[in-house]
């Protein structure tokens, strides 16, 4: 069955231009609490058009964002987020005289979801006719507009210009009615929660859009405001008099009804009712799913199923844009719905969403300088407690060497791993830099050396959002069952924290006194970790010998997780040994880089302990040694 009378030009590279609201959402973390009692908030991309741009991108389409952002940090956040999500930002304009819009949102399921819009003359309502690019439109299958874009005189003018441009370039036009009474001035400014207010003026202005449309999507209330009649049937009849566009009526947990022609020929698909956490992103998720079908010329029932299922997934999660599903998540949910009572909370969806949210680890190299050691440094100072004061100074010099190397290489995959006490200088300065930062959460790094204790959650939360977390598992034949069980319990707790805070987790396997490590112990530990429903983003492992052992390890990882990556720990300064190890890991699908630590700097530390004047030489030596490994890795990787 054809989806509509609209003929999409499938040769066009851009699937969708999403025009309209893109703002910053601040979601209260306290579920079930009114906003006046909220304590903390999570910052997400939001706004109807922005959410749909992210949602369609995650489902495999190629969208572009057509809007404006302020020349402020919130605008930078939005642009960076869109680009990270694969959304084209060619049509995203910065407006220096206007601030990026903000929204404060609360979650009090099942029926109350307070929100306050801070959008007075905000940036995304400043789109001008000249911001539309005819060549870009001619390369796009469809344009999505929202009803909010007709709520001010200047945006009505711009929208009509854009609609004429779309028609002249053969670009299909989709309307998400997106009716927010507060944005039309029909409620008190603080009442963003109200979703319907009858207004003949709004109906009159919205109906001007009808002749341009190829698809109309809205809730029953939104169809009412569009039609202005006394019943849904009458509203659809009124709309039909001015537009032949198919009409999709969203009905929440009951799914949707598609009216391809008139009221007498509806199409429906199976709904996916779930326990609701947050309805605020449901409509945008539905639209994203529906368009995944519509823009791929699927039949109406398939479009509706995609929309229903995607909406169901998002209402079970915190936030809008970050809750959007990948196509892999969506099909997994649809295939298992009704069969698994724990589907929404199970590890199957959780792991898939982890990679949707954080990215795929094998797509980016990781070249790590690791100076997170605490016990080793302190034990080397046991004969002279005053030397402990030197640890922080020495780590600062290591960090300076890292920064120097970063300036001298074209590689953009450099990373540094340190601890929360002696490595504080690196932690403090990393938020504004392009390199990756990792913080060690090994047990010896949690207690402040001045006597204070910080919870793992607090330490991770205080780092910027792109910092990753490393945890070591100590593996040897001497490790008894209880000791390993305790390590796994602690690892699971940290994994849950990382999942909650959207942080990447690296698990390092430390094989005490065994080089090369016993691969049987390593593979057994990896299996045990996965069986406890812990899915690290990266594994950090010392290279086994021979190659067959390495293939055994990578095979175990692949059998549990086809996305996880690994890096090899370099335990020697010998170039030939490093070369052989790099060749082994580069030959695997999981291998994406290396970690170098004590082997690179321990001789320097021993000299520094005895003669602090040696400190000024440390950065230069570290820079040169690190660059040598980077060059070696790059040469092997690029073969």
Question: How much is the average pLDDT of 427-437?
Answer: 78
Torsional sign, CA 149, 152, 158, 163: positive
Average pLDDT over residues 97-108: 95
Cα–chain center distance at 131: 28
What pLDDT is attached to residue 67? 98
Fold of 361-637: TIM Barrel (3.20.20)
Domain ranges of the chain: 14-188+195-358, 361-637
Inter-CA distances, 198 with 177, 218, 225, 227, 251, Å: 14, 15, 7, 11, 19
Q: How far apart are the first and last CA of the chain?
A: 49
Share of the chain above pLDDT 70, in %: 94
144 touches 171 (CB < 8 A): no
Which distant-in-sequence residues (6+ apart) come within 8 Å of 396 by Cβ? 425, 426
The Cα–Cα gap between 119 and 401 comes to 46
| Residue of 304, 217, 301 lying closest to 255 (CA atoms) | 304
pLDDT for the residue 351: 96
- Band (pLDDT 50/70/90 cuts) for residue 445 is very low
**Quick one: pLDDT at residue 545?**
65
- Is the separation of the CB atoms in 180 and 187 below 8 Å? no
Average of per-residue pLDDT across 415-433: 82
Overall average pLDDT of the 107-121 stretch: 90
How much is the mean pLDDT over the chain? 91
**285-301: average pLDDT:** 97
Q: Decide if pLDDT at 564 tops 50.
A: yes
47: confidence class by pLDDT, cuts 50, 70, 90: very high
pLDDT at 614: 84
Q: What mean pLDDT comes out for the span 486-493?
A: 94
Sheet-wide strand order for 92-95: 92-95, 63-70, 14-19, 140-146, 172-176, 215-219, 247-250, 256-259, 267-268
pLDDT in the model for residue 1: 34
d(CA 520, CA 525): 9
302-347 pLDDT, tens digit each: 999 999 999 999 999 999 999 999 999 999 999 999 999 999 999 9
**Residue pLDDT, tens place only, 511-524:** 866 556 678 889 99
Q: What's the alpha-carbon Rg for the chain, to the nearest Å? A: 28
Same fold, 14-188+195-358 and 361-637: no
CATH of 14-188+195-358, one of 2.60.120.920, 3.40.50.720, 3.40.50.300, 3.40.1190.20: 3.40.1190.20
Q: How far apart (Å, rounded) are the C-alpha atoms in residues 126 and 94?
A: 10
pLDDT digits (tens, 9 = 90+) for 214-241: 999 999 999 999 999 999 999 999 999 9
pLDDT of amino acid 273: 95
How far is C-alpha 63 from the chain's CA centre? 16
SS3 call for 118 = strand
Residue 93 tokens read as 């304009």
- Give how far Cα 218 sits from Cα of 29, 133, 176, 203, Å: 29, 28, 6, 14
- State mean pLDDT over 590-611: 92
Q: What are phi and psi of 92, to 5 degrees?
A: -95, 115
- Residue 516 confidence (pLDDT): 61
Distance in angstroms (rounded) separating the CA atoms of residues 126 and 409? 41
pLDDT at 444: 46
Question: What's the Cα-to-Cα distance from 485 to each of 286, 488, 528, rounded to whole Å?
Answer: 43, 5, 10
Omega prior to 110 cis, within 30 of 0? yes
386 band by pLDDT with thresholds 50, 70 and 90: low
| Sign (positive or negative) of CA dihedral 542, 545, 514, 494 | positive
């Amino acid at each position: 069955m054809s989806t509509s009378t609209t003929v999409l030009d499938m040769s066009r590279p851009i699937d969708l231009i999403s025009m309209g609201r893109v703002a910053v959402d601040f979601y209260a973390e306290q579920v079930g609490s009114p906003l006046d009692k909220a304590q903390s908030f999570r910052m997400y991309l939001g706004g109807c058009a922005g959410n749909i741009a992210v949602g369609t991108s995650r489902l495999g389409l190629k969208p572009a964002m057509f809007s404006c952002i302020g020349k402020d940090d919130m605008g930078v956040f939005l642009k960076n987020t869109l680009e990270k999500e694969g959304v084209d930002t060619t049509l995203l304009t910065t407006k220096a005289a206007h601030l990026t819009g903000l929204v404060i949102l609360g979650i009090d399921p099942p029926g109350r979801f307070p929100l306050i819009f801070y959008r007075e003359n905000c940036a995304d309502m400043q789109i001008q006719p000249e911001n539309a690019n005819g060549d870009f439109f001619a390369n796009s299958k469809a344009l999505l507009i929202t009803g909010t874009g007709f709520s001010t005189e200047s945006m009505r003018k711009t929208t009509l210009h854009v609609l004429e441009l779309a028609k002249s370039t053969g670009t299909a036009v989709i309307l998400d009615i997106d009716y927010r009474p507060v944005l039309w001035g029909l409620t008190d400014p603080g009442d963003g929660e109200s979703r319907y207010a009858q207004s003949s003026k709004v109906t009159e202005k919205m109906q001007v859009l009808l002749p341009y449309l190829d698809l109309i999507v809205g809730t029953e209330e939104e169809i009412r405001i569009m039609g202005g009649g006394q019943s849904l049937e009458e509203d659809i009849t009124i709309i039909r008099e001015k537009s032949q566009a198919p009409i999709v009526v969203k009905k929440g947990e009951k799914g949707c009804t598609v009216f391809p022609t008139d009221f007498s020929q509806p199409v429906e698909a199976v709904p996916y009712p779930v326990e609701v956490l947050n309805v605020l992103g449901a409509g945008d998720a539905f639209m994203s799913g529906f368009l995944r079908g519509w823009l791929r010329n699927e039949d109406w029932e398939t479009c509706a199923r995609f929309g229903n299922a995607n909406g169901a997934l998002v209402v079970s999660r915190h936030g809008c844009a970050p809750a959007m599903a990948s196509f892999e998540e969506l099909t997994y949910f649809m295939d298992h719905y009704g069969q698994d009572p724990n589907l929404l909370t199970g590890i199957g969806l959780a792991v898939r969403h982890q990679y949707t949210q954080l990215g795929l680890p094998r797509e980016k190299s990781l070249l790590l300088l690791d100076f997170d050691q605490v016990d080793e440094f302190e034990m080397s100072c046991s004969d002279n407690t005053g030397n402990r004061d030197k640890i922080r100074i020495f780590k600062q010099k290591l960090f300076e060497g890292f920064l120097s190397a970063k300036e001298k290489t074209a590689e953009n995959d450099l990373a540094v791993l340190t601890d929360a006490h002696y490595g504080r200088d690196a932690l403090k300065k990393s938020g504004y830099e392009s390199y990756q930062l990792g913080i060690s959460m090994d047990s010896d790094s949690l207690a402040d050396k001045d006597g204070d204790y910080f919870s793992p959650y607090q330490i991770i939360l205080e780092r910027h959002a792109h910092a990753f977390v490393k945890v070591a598992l100590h593996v040897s034949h001497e490790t008894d069952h209880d000791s390993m069980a305790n390590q796994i319990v602690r690892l699971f707790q940290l994994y849950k924290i990382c999942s909650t805070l959207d942080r990447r987790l690296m698990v390092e396997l430390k094989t005490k006194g065994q080089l090369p490590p016993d691969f049987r112990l390593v593979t057994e530990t990896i299996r045990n970790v996965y069986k406890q429903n812990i899915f690290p983003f990266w594994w950090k492992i010392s290279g086994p010998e021979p190659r067959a052992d390495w293939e055994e390890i990578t095979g175990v990882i692949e059998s549990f997780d086809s996305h996880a990556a690994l890096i090899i720990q370099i335990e020697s300064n010998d170039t030939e040994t490093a070369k052989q190890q790099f060749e082994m890991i580069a030959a695997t699908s999981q291998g994406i880089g290396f970690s170098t630590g004590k082997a690179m700097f321990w001789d320097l530390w021993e000299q520094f302990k005895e003669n602090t004047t040696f400190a000024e030489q440390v950065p230069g030596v570290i820079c040169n040694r690190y660059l040598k490994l980077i060059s070696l890795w790059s040469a092997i990787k690029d073969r």
